[in-house]
Structure 1
Amino acid sequence: RMLRLSGEICDGAIIMGAANPDFCNWQLDYIYQGLEKGGRQRSDILIELIVTMSIDDDEEQALNDVRAWATSQAATFAVWKKVPPAWERFREEFTTAEQVYHYEEHLSLRAEHKHIVSDEFVSSVTVAGKFESCISRLKEIARLDIDRITFALLSGGRIRRLEELGQKVIPALNE
């Protein structure tokens, strides 16, 4: 409902929850429906995607870096009446996450609840892994009908992550 409403009356919309092109397109479709209902053009709204990312040669470490964020998203998805059909397979994880997610440990890298979602789900909602695979995934996302991508900075090593974005990721995306 909120995505439709944003298309209908807002000057901007933030989509989040998944760094997955199919999921993003599913969300974009709701914005387009709102644009149509409001008699508006795509140029009337700025669409931003928030992406959580960890680049590491150790792919398991990269997944663990973003796992707490993925778990918070799973808890949020539990109450959604609709999710993309391909995501129905994660419904049980959403329900479990909602039941055990502790907001006092929100996004904590040490939170115990972060281990309740599968690697498959974490990989679906984040960009995590080796540099080359992350760049490939980001290029795929950048081809979507979005105006901006914002990178959520993870806890720990924020300066290093900012430097990595500025010195390596952005230049690689421009190639």
Structure 2
Amino acid sequence: MKYGVGLFPTEPLPKMIRLAKLSEKLGFSHIWIGDSHLIWREAYVNMAAAALNTSKVKIGTGVTNPLTRHPSVVASAYATLEELAPRRFIVGIGLGDSSVETMGMKPARLDFFEKTIKQMRALLAGEEVELESGKIHLKHPCKNKIPIYVAASGPKMLELSGRIADGIIVLVGVADEYLRQAKEKIEAGAKAAGRKLSDINLVLWVPCAVSDKAPAKDAVKAHVARVVAHPLPYVLDPKEQKVLEEIRRTYDYYHHMDQEANHAEVIPDWLVDKFAIAGTVSECRARVKELKKSGINQIAIIPYSAKGEDREDTLRGFAKAIR
């Protein structure tokens, strides 16, 4: 099992660099940088800074999209980053969430998304791509293959990811039944493409707060609210459905993943346990022990801070939990 860290650039770049350095020091293998240009600092600047201040950790977007970032822009950015730190970068990409919603846009359609992934791969490989306006190519393609990981939660997106992705960032919660149903959809997509589930790296995306001093569940509720509101590969029970309706009524994309967001108040403690890792070091250790049985290749935590603490405290606490 590998362990990654999802870092949303909500703070100035020097602080983000400190978090990246600490993540590597604590033994995390991957850093995923959020990309939502109106509410967070610039993702690709953060990725370059993280690469320059670490030596071996893998770095990816967590995640970008093909709407605010044209495939040619993503390809050029990654080709350039690859020159800085070869074989350390991963494209993490999804349909678009807060990055497009804050622009008044809608997430990409599945057929459009699949086409853009093909274009991106071709451009990175130095191949020509046909657009409506004509043919284009990248003058500085990658010497090494850059893996493309697709963020997925809904049944159709999970199946598509199983067909086309090198890895999948799984956004469905942490309950055993949720993960089982997600893997079934991924495997169906993989089989349709003549692949096996074992060919695909599965990254479980998990909001996390670890503290032995303060209640941790409140810290992750804003993130849980967004996961619950995603399309999911399973049917919510009546209690969960009621919470979902309230989230959709109150969700504010300008406070996306913001611990202080009003929509965080909608999430009850019992729902947190299905969608996050939150609690003391020993409680988190027990949760990770269970998740190791799920067939996931990497747990990527998005660290949040319990009251009076910092994201660094959760990183250190989680590192203790996995020892």
1:140 to 290, 296, 310: 290
Please list, as runs of the form range in 1=range in 2, the aligned pairs for 1:11-160 lying within 5 A after superposition: 11-57=166-212, 61-76=215-230, 80=231, 83-85=233-235, 87-89=236-238, 90-154=240-304, 157-160=310-313
The amino acid of 1:62's aligned partner reads A
TM-score, normalization: structure 2?
0.47
The equivalent of 2:317 in structure 1 is: 164
Q: Distance in 2 between matches of 1:41 and 1:170?
A: 29
The CA deviation at 1:130 is: 2.5
TM-score, normalization: structure 1?
0.84
Question: For structure 1, which segment, 95-104 or 152-161, has the greater mean C-alpha deviation from structure 2 after superposition?
Answer: 152-161
Provide the aligned C-alpha RMSD in A. Answer: 1.9
Unaligned runs of 5+ residues in structure 2 are: 1-155
Q: Distance in 1 between matches of 2:206 and 2:317?
A: 15
Change over 3 Å in CA distance of 1:165–1:57 after alignment to 2? closer
Structure with the greater relative contact order (CA < 8 A, sep ≥ 6): 1 or 2? 1
The CA deviation at 1:161 is: 2.2
Aligned residues: 164
The CA deviation at 1:58 is: 6.0
The amino acid of 1:103's aligned partner reads Y
Unaligned runs of 5+ residues in structure 1 are: none
Larger Rg: 2
Q: Distance in 2 between matches of 1:74 and 1:38?
A: 29
Q: Distance in 2 between matches of 1:92 and 1:164?
A: 33
Deviant stretches of 4+, over 3 Å: none
Q: Distance in 1 between matches of 2:312 and 2:275?
A: 23
Question: For structure 1, which segment, 35-44 or 21-30, has the greater mean C-alpha deviation from structure 2 after superposition?
Answer: 35-44
